[in-house]
Structure 1
Amino acid sequence: MAIPVSVQCVGLITLVAILVQTIAVALTFVYFNKVLNTMQDSFSRSSVSCLINSDVEDWGSQGLGAEDRKSDPCWQVTQQLHHHIQKKMTDRFQREMSITVRNKLTDVLPVLSPGIRGVSLPKVAAHVTGVVSSSSSSSSSSEPSSTGGSRMIRSHLGERIRSWEGHRGLSFLQNMELRGGELVTPTAGLYYIYAQTYFRLPPTGETEQEGAQLVQYVYKKMSSYTVPILLMKSSRSVCWPRGPEPGLFSLHQAGTAFLQHADRLFITVSNATNMEMDGRASYFGAFLIG
């Protein structure tokens, strides 16, 4: 009878030991789980407070030196986040400003060459420049529209400028065509048109000639109407130079006009023989804006 009792005792002791170990493990798990949750909550609160705690702004007033602030983990987190946000905002601002400035320059300065990297021109645009040649840079074609007795009536005022460069130097043609000194519009729309002509009046000494009238005209010619239509004109009264140096003068004008498909633009001036066809001084152009 002693053997069975001993086996029962051993089994009971083993069962109690397993039960006690299980309870201890369970209690230990519950305890550490609670501690872990407490640490997570504390860490979350401290992380959020690093971002929204107003005390961060008062570190200087609390007497904390630079070394103390640098050793504070919360200060390091906020500083790194601040620098990161500042860098992102600066990069975005510079990128947006670069695009805005580039677009403004393209609108205001159509003289920019289409070959410049990153510069996009309007879909329809042209900038043509004067051509210096041994022959006269202008033509006095008067294009008579009718005759009254023996007197010719001109279809436009001034002398037409025909020698324009459209492909070299600062000039370009973007979906527009240059024919015989005329810019041909490929599509109907509102165009911004500009022109400048440069004059060099030679000195004449002491003469009876007191002054000169410089006039610049911008015309459009329509296929449905035989007589060119004056769009703009600019004039200037100047004194003829009396000293040894020539007189230098320029006329500039710009404006908008609605043009139809295949309309043509051309420039005429007074005193065409005194016009200097330097491509940086005498030019005209147009581009579609709407």
Structure 2
Amino acid sequence: MPSNTIKAPYCLRDKDDDDDDDVPGKQITIGEWIYNRDLGFIQRAKYRHGRIVIPSTGVYFIYSQVSFLEVVDIKQGNSKPPSTTSPSLSHYLYRYNLIYPHGGEETLIQNSITKCWGHNKSFGEYTSYLGAVFQLRQGDEIFVKVSNLTLLTSDPKSNYFGLFKIN
């Protein structure tokens, strides 16, 4: 691997979270990732509180995938998710640095998935992948937000984020 390459695929840590409100437009930071065992690793970068800290200014490819799973109890006669749930699931890649406007937090890319429910459907599985090239500065912090943490699957091969330096 070239010395200027950073690779950091991450696995989401299966963790209970009390913040299970499903409010349209809400964005929740994924605050914990497994980065030092199993499939997760990091080289030439720092991991801090759910974020990858960029070690040197340059052009990077950043990527993230998350998978949502919603199970509905059709025994109760429900063929649709409860009316209190949002009709969409969202996935965001952010960067943070105090030098940027709006408190330093900036959306880089995002994806929204509209949930589809059919007659007698007992679950919905939705995957979102984001990836793009960005000019990043030393000290930028890259992190992931989603619209609903409680619906994320616990499979580490389905939830990850990372980056590598192109030049």
The bucket for the TM-score relative to the shorter chain is 0.7 to 0.9
Q: CA 1:130–1:267 in structure 2 vs 1: closer, same or farther (change >3 Å)?
A: same
Q: CA 1:188–1:138 in structure 2 vs 1: closer, same or farther (change >3 Å)?
A: farther
d(CA) in 2 for partners of 1:177, 1:128: 13
Write out per-residue CA displacement over residues 145-202 of structure 1, whole angstroms, 9 at most, x where no aligned residue: xxxxxxxxxxx96111012011111111011111110110000000000001110112
Count of paired positions? 155
Q: 2:17 aligned to 136, 141, 146, which one?
A: 136
Give the unaligned 5+ runs of structure 1.
1-119, 141-155
Look up the SS of the partner of 1:124 in the other structure: coil
Q: 1:279 aligned to 146, 156, 162, which one?
A: 156
d(CA) in 2 for partners of 1:178, 1:137: 24
d(CA) in 1 for partners of 2:142, 2:154: 18
For 1:213, the equivalent position in structure 2 comes to 88
The CA RMSD measured in Å over matched residues stands at: 2.6
d(CA) in 2 for partners of 1:241, 1:131: 31
Q: 1:266 aligned to 143, 153, 162, which one?
A: 143
TM superposition score normalised by structure 1 = 0.49
Q: CA 1:266–1:139 in structure 2 vs 1: closer, same or farther (change >3 Å)?
A: farther
Q: CA 1:138–1:125 in structure 2 vs 1: closer, same or farther (change >3 Å)?
A: farther
For 1:196, the equivalent position in structure 2 comes to 65
Structure 1 position 129, deviation (Å): 1.1
Look up the SS of the partner of 1:233 in the other structure: strand
Bigger proportion of residues as helix: 1
For 1:29, the equivalent position in structure 2 comes to none
> Between the two proteins, what is the percent identity of the paired residues?
25
For 2:166, the equivalent position in structure 1 comes to 289
For 2:125, the equivalent position in structure 1 comes to 248
Write out per-residue CA displacement over residues 90-130 of structure 1, whole angstroms, 9 at most, x where no aligned residue: xxxxxxxxxxxxxxxxxxxxxxxxxxxxxx36632211111
For 2:31, the equivalent position in structure 1 comes to 162
Bigger proportion of residues as strand: 2
For 1:103, the equivalent position in structure 2 comes to none
Higher Cα Rg: structure 1 or 2?
1
Q: CA 1:282–1:128 in structure 2 vs 1: closer, same or farther (change >3 Å)?
A: same
Structure 1 position 139, deviation (Å): 8.9
Structure 1 position 288, deviation (Å): 0.4
Q: CA 1:138–1:130 in structure 2 vs 1: closer, same or farther (change >3 Å)?
A: farther
Are the aligned partners of 1:139 and 1:162 in contact in 2 as well (CA < 8 Å)? Answer: no
TM superposition score normalised by structure 2 = 0.81
For 1:96, the equivalent position in structure 2 comes to none
For 2:56, the equivalent position in structure 1 comes to 187
Look up the SS of the partner of 1:285 in the other structure: strand
Write out per-residue CA displacement over residues 196-253 of structure 1, whole angstroms, 9 at most, x where no aligned residue: 1110112151457397201101000013232311100011111246636321111111
d(CA) in 1 for partners of 2:20, 2:113: 21
d(CA) in 1 for partners of 2:20, 2:98: 22
Structure 1 position 277, deviation (Å): 3.1
For 1:114, the equivalent position in structure 2 comes to none
Matches within 5 A, 1:80-99: none
Are the aligned partners of 2:79 and 2:117 in contact in 1 as well (CA < 8 Å)? Answer: no
d(CA) in 1 for partners of 2:53, 2:39: 19
d(CA) in 1 for partners of 2:7, 2:156: 17
For 1:127, the equivalent position in structure 2 comes to 9
Give the unaligned 5+ runs of structure 2.
none
